[in-house]
Amino acid sequence: MDSIIVWSIIFVLIVLFAYYATRMARRDPDGEGLHDFGFALIEFGRAFPNEAIRELHGTADGSAIFVRLHDGKTGIMRSHAKHYTCHLIRPGRVRVQGLEDPRGFSADFLDSPGNNGEFVFRTEAEAAEVSLWLLGNYIASADRSAADEAG
């Protein structure tokens, strides 16, 4: 009889420990950064179901993910506690400026000022690649304007 009580107590302690451990793992007390790119893919797919994602780069703190699409477009996803806001960047509608830290830049999104901010990546190469994506968007806009004037 004593062994049944002991095993019951051990079982209850294991269940409580498992419950507590899973609740703490899901918690994000700062409300900052969903670092799960899989979740980001799902959210972006919901927001833009006709866009195929080619590549993702997230900031070092997980507050933003930049998305490179199959046709050369670029998008940004900002983390807000338990969800992302997704924005497709229109060509020529972003201004980028370097920071003193070579791993980052500041960006002003003319169509969605709520996404403005400073973005610091894990490596300098990631920051350079994302800034080139944004520059590609800007060049694409200039090419379209030149083609419209010529044609």
Task: Give the DSSP per-residue string, 2-40.
Answer: HHHHHHHHHHHHHHHHHHHHHHHHH--TT------HHHH
Q: Is 92 exposed, middle or buried (0-12, 13-18, 19+ CB in 10 A)?
A: middle
Q: Is 85 within a domain?
A: yes
pLDDT attached to residue 119 = 94
Q: Is 14 within a domain?
A: no
In the chain, the number of structural domains is: 1
19-47 burial, b for 16+ CB within 10 Å, e for fewer?
A: eeeeeeeeeeeeeebbeeeebbeebbeee
pLDDT attached to residue 149 = 57
Distance CA 46, CA 31 (A): 22
**DSSP code for 122:** S
Nearest C-alpha neighbor of 56 from the set 48, 91, 46, 70: 70
Q: Is 11 within a domain?
A: no
What is the extent of the structural domain holding 121? 37-150
pLDDT attached to residue 33 = 42
CATH number at residue 102: 2.30.29
For residue 130, give both structure tokens. Answer: 């994302």
Q: Is 102 within a domain?
A: yes
Q: Is 87 within a domain?
A: yes
Reported as type and span, the H/E element at residue 95 is strand 94-98
Amino acid identity, position 132 = L
pLDDT attached to residue 14 = 86
Ordered per-residue pLDDT tens for the chain, 151 residues: 678 888 888 888 888 777 776 665 454 444 444 466 787 788 888 899 998 888 889 999 888 999 998 888 899 998 876 777 889 988 888 888 889 999 999 999 888 888 899 999 999 999 999 988 888 765 544 444 554 555 5
pLDDT attached to residue 18 = 78
Q: Is 120 within a domain?
A: yes
**DSSP code for 81:** T
